[in-house]
Structure 1
Amino acid sequence: MYGHGAAPPSRSSGTVIFLRVLVAAAGFLTCGMLSCLPLFRVAVLRGKWYDWALAWVSIPLAIGGLMVIGALPESDPRTDLALTVILLLGAFSSVHFLIADIQHHREQPPFPGYIPQPPPRTGYGYPQAASPYAVTHPQTPIPQRPVQQAPVPQNPVPPPAPPQRPAPARIDQVRAELDELSDYLRKREGNEGDGR
């Protein structure tokens, strides 16, 4: 969608903050019923197994608490305990999400001094190979200081050959379909010629 090698546009800080508040509120304001949403977002951001386990465990915990609240009378102390667990689960999931999301957006790149250089633009689409018909102008050599060269090994290894790109599968498919269509038309013309 964004072209070859182009990164998608980054979100503005306002969008990030709005999404952060929305996901955190889903866990707390629904009284813990949707506490799995912030936990799944943390699991997607980090990709750690324990984050995924915590997100999956929150679902039966919230459902079980709601079942206890719905099945037992209001005066039973177990309903108070189940409601407390669900509310604490919602608060925990929201706080855990906020901490993980803020840390994720503050992370520094792995190599702080390295800035990758984009490839040179040679036109629209993929980089173009040099044309054998291109006119080159003679250039005057620039004098350079002598450079010490490293010793050359006795048996140099030739560089590997560039990989050959196979023909696109779509072209082969279209070619096969055209061959089938021409065979069908030939048979149809032969049948019409016999019937006349």
Structure 2
Amino acid sequence: MHGHGYAPPQPGRPAGSTLVALRVVFICLTVLSCGFLGWVPMLRLAIVTRRVLHLALFCAVIVLNVGLFLYFGSAVPDDPDKELSDSAAAVVLIGILVQLVGVMAYYLYAEMRHYETLPVPPPFPAAPQQQMTGYGYPPVAQPPVPNPYAQPVRQPAPAPAPAPTPQPPRRIDQVRAELDELSDLLRKDHRADGGDR
């Protein structure tokens, strides 16, 4: 008794301006946090593409973040008068830069590549499908409602019809035929009398 209903909307490509805005937000978030929030764009990438590789990269960024925090915490001397050693500072700085550049570059590359494969949405929404009413019959068309304020439309005057040409009556045809016969008879009679005198 019931139809299939409406088809679920197919995932399509968001508008170009939306994609650019999202990319700018995620890149700024990564840069302003010195790479420590680099897991956020990787999480978005894993959700959007639903690929195992992107989920694994998301986990790797989190592990790198935790590792950098733990290393930095253990490298800081207990005495506040002592400074961080140059090698420890270099390891932390290189880890931050690798994570920062790696996350930004891979995020932009993978997301652009993913959305290139999706179809571009039409510029205007698609026309709605005709809705079927009770028992699968199409809806009844409603007559147009007259506008009481509309000016009446003047119809052009009909062109005068051409006068019909009278058909010659059949009597005339009969008279012509009789005259032709009479003419033939007179010619024969004229030849029989001697023709040329």
TM-score norm. by structure 2 comes to 0.51
Distance 1:105 1:50, change over 3 A: closer
Asked if 1:102 corresponds to 2:112, the answer is yes
1:16, 1:128 → 2: CA distance?
42
TM-superposed deviation, 1:63: 1.7
Aligned partner letter, 2:89:
T
Asked if 1:5 corresponds to 2:11, the answer is no
2:38, 2:56 → 1: CA distance?
14
RMSD, aligned CA:
3.1
1:102, 1:128 → 2: CA distance?
46
Is this contact kept in 2: 1:69–1:83, CA < 8 A? Answer: no
> Among 59, 64, 72, which residue is 2:62 paired with?
59
Is this contact kept in 2: 1:43–1:55, CA < 8 A? Answer: yes
Which residue of structure 1 lines up, in the alignment, with residue 131 of structure 2?
122
Q: Unaligned regions of 5+ residues in structure 2, if any?
A: 77-83, 120-125, 141-197
Secondary structure of the residue aligned to 1:129 is helix
Which residue of structure 2 lines up, in the alignment, with residue 70 of structure 1?
73
TM-superposed deviation, 1:79: 2.9
TM-score norm. by structure 1 comes to 0.51
1:55, 1:21 → 2: CA distance?
19
Q: Unaligned regions of 5+ residues in structure 1, if any?
A: 110-116, 135-196
Correspondence 1:81-96 to 2 at 5 A: 81-96=91-106
How many pairs were matched up? Answer: 120
Which residue of structure 1 lines up, in the alignment, with residue 90 of structure 2?
80
1:24, 1:49 → 2: CA distance?
22
Which one has the largest radius of gyration? Answer: 2
Secondary structure of the residue aligned to 1:41 is helix
Aligned partner letter, 1:121:
Q
Identity of matched residues, %:
24
